[in-house]
Structure 1
């Protein structure tokens, strides 16, 4: 086995060996009673939930303190070996430790231009506390 393409050809499935379980939350659409053609996103108390597996890679965590409040902003990346996973911008991922991560931007499903192989889904995440 000398190249990544050889590996892919010999091992038709790719999987991350050590993952954690997350809950993907998506707010439901709520119809505007004044304009039925318009709908908005509901709140986080009524969500469509889906159990997903993946790995979290921490990027940054900064803290800002001022006279009024204290805020912590953390960023991370979520990686899943299922490129077809139903995660999109605006969703939230709940970690087993209770942290709530918001999907920031569009998830990527990068493709190898030589083989067409799409091994992963990658999401940028953001958490704001305070």
Structure 2
């Protein structure tokens, strides 16, 4: 029996027992009072979507200058939920809140195996800016 056979007998999904809870925040669009178009963003009342995933920190860099210090961190969040609705510009927070707020910095990757078309996870690139 191969690994793929074993996965297919358990429902075909990829199980991540070490995954933790996360929430995706997406700003609601706000109508601009001058143009009448939906151009603004309301982060005070965002749309929230809860999901499971596992964070892998990539790098962190501190940039001091005369006026302030800024720290930029990057990470990847891997989730077994392939239909997860995440887009660049969304914000991601841990549940329970650990004080960090990540921004989705690129399009999520839903890579597939070229030989079997199997897609085990979605990988979300994240960045955090402080300072």
Common fold by TM > 0.5: yes
* Helix, strand or coil at the partner of 1:126: strand
Q: CA RMSD in A?
A: 1.6
Equivalent pair of 2:32/2:40 in contact (CA under 8 Å)? no
SS of alignment partner, residue 61 of structure 2: strand
* Unmatched 5+ stretches in structure 2: none
Task: Specify the alignment match of 1:13 in structure 2.
Answer: 13
Q: 1:102 to 1:118 in 2, by over 3 A?
A: same
Equivalent residue runs for 1:72-111 within 5 Å: 72-95=71-94, 96-111=97-112
Q: Output the CA distance in 2 between the equivalents of 1:10 and 1:94.
A: 33
Instruction: Give the strand-richer structure, 1 or 2.
Output: 2
* C-alpha separation in 2, matches of 1:99 and 1:57: 14
Contact 1:22–1:54 (CA<8 Å) still a contact in 2?
A: yes
1:30-109 matches, within 5 Å, as: 30-36=30-36, 38-95=37-94, 96-109=97-110
Query: What SS does structure 1 have at the residue aligned with 2:67?
Result: coil
Counterpart of 1:117 in structure 2 is 118
Q: Distance in 1 between matches of 2:7 and 2:40?
A: 41
Post-superposition CA distance 1:55-107 (Å, at most 9, x none): 00000001011111011000000000011111111100012312000000111
Q: TM-score, normalised by structure 1?
A: 0.88
